[in-house]
Amino acid sequence: MISRTNVRRGIAMGIAMGIAMGTARGNDRRPPISACRALVVPYWLEIGLTAIGLLAMGAFWQPMDLPQPIFAATESGTGTSDLQPTGAGMLEILAGGDLRGEIKPCGCSPEGQIGGLPRRLTFLAQAFAAERDGPRPILLDTGNNFPEPSDQGRLKIDLIQTLLNRDRPEAILPGPNELAMGTALLDPGLPYMVSNDAMGKAFAPFLTVERAGLRIGLFGYISPEVVYQMFSQQYRLESISPAWLERVAARIASEGHDRTILLFRGNDLELETLAASGLFDRIIVGNPLDDELNQVTTRRVAAGVFPQVPTKGQGLYRIPLAGGPPVSPGVGTVVWLTDEFADHPAALAAFEEYDGRVKGLFFARLETLERQNSASPYAGAATCAACHPKANDVWSSSRHAHALPSLEAVGKQFDPECVACHVVGMERGGFLSQDLTPQLAGVQCENCHGPAKAHATQPMAVKPDRIQRGAATAGTAVAVCRDCHVGSHSPVFAFGTYWEKIAH
């Protein structure tokens, strides 16, 4: 039976799949393939033909009886706290995430003291209490809660996951900060979920919750663009494609979901494609921005405006989800975690334990630094610069000076085999970590000239033990460079060309 619903569904799926096909071909950098190879089909025509074909399919497609999208929104995103019940039959989503390790306001100044896990617990307790006579709100998390990797960051991860277990979220989409560390640190008791993981080992592909007599499907998409995927890891993120959209649609139909919610982290084209598919009643976007002083809490694409959770965990979204027929769409309201919300008592014990472990780490690092400073033969480029300012100017503007950040860009900053050629003296009394020995990060003077602490102390009596001014041969210099510029790591290395870039 032809219906307006199925025609709209066919159009939406056609447009979404057309965009996905065009995106995939653009990523492959291949021209469209047609039956007549002399004919090159324009992208706009390919998308249009796909939409028309799938419109017909949608007109007669009955098994996938999906609800109509109700996800459009306004573009304010700067609402105020309102903990009144949402009303009988009305479901509500509470959405947070993007802590980025900001576990609690630091208290350095009276301004800007917003957010924190203890206040989040208080808000959630009040929100759940306000709905005591109605359906419990659906608590969702867009992830990216872990801090940047460090020794203290590891302690924060334990604290964050302890308090997330207290929150009892229905689903968490792991973000780039979580996936950068692999899957070993993820608490298996928390509902981490990724719907576009092709391996299907580490995460649930979807989750289902029941509220007010409805089966609500929870899905998560994280773009392969935002995560560096190493082959040894337990997941493989796939891009949006027609086949993937069809699998999601089949899953929704087979599970009998009455409503669907997508947690999303990716680019605008991916968001547009997923919105146009018509598969999801609500799409909640993870925040790609790091500036908590200029919060952006909505994401606009052609299909509408979508709620984007505040960065640094400074607030949570309250988003309506109809318990009966679809209601007027709206982005929801941001509740900012100001001092209106006191720290929850349940968080105190967890923070006391964390503070104690941080104190222990502080003194352990002092001991490590003391041993390092007394035993290390390396001085660092800053020491060399005092007597060799011109050479330092050449070095500081070279790629050598920024060698370690180049590893961070591809997620290899913790791989010892890689790091050794991007820092000074690793495993030879030199670089330990970016936290402990930042003065030895990058390829510096001592990578080529040898350890120089003794030379810096007695410059006339002690000379560097490798390349010395006026005493090195071309062969000696090439051999030093070849310690790292070798094989596939530096396939076009030529000493004469490369030396010109750092000549001093």
Structure tokens at 27: 């990523």
- How far is the C-alpha of 144 from the C-alpha of 193, rounded, in Å? 13
Whether residues 309 and 227 share a domain: the answer is yes
Task: Enumerate residue ranges in the chain where pLDDT < 70.
Answer: 1-89, 107-112, 131, 230-232, 322-330, 373, 411, 415, 465-475, 488-489
Domain CATH number, residue 212: 3.60.21.10
Whether residues 288 and 380 share a domain: the answer is no
Which of 62, 85, 111 is at the close of a domain?
Answer: 62
Amino acid occupying residue 336: W
- How far is the C-alpha of 317 from the C-alpha of 79, rounded, in Å? 9
Whether residues 46 and 83 share a domain: the answer is no
Could you write out the DSSP letters of every residue in 231-242? TTSS--B----H
Whether residues 32 and 92 share a domain: the answer is no
Structure tokens at 373: 């400073």
Q: Is residue 364 part of a domain?
A: no
Whole-number pLDDT of residue 78: 38
Structure tokens at 64: 């996938």
Structure tokens at 401: 């000076």
Whether residues 158 and 13 share a domain: the answer is no
Q: For residue 125, what are the domain limits?
A: 71-353
Whether residues 98 and 246 share a domain: the answer is yes
Q: Is residue 307 part of a domain?
A: yes
Task: Classify 329 as helix, strand or coil.
Answer: coil
Instruction: Select from 284, 323, 287 the least CA-distant residue to 73.
Output: 284
Whether residues 337 and 405 share a domain: the answer is no
> What's the structural domain count of the chain?
3
Whether residues 139 and 188 share a domain: the answer is yes
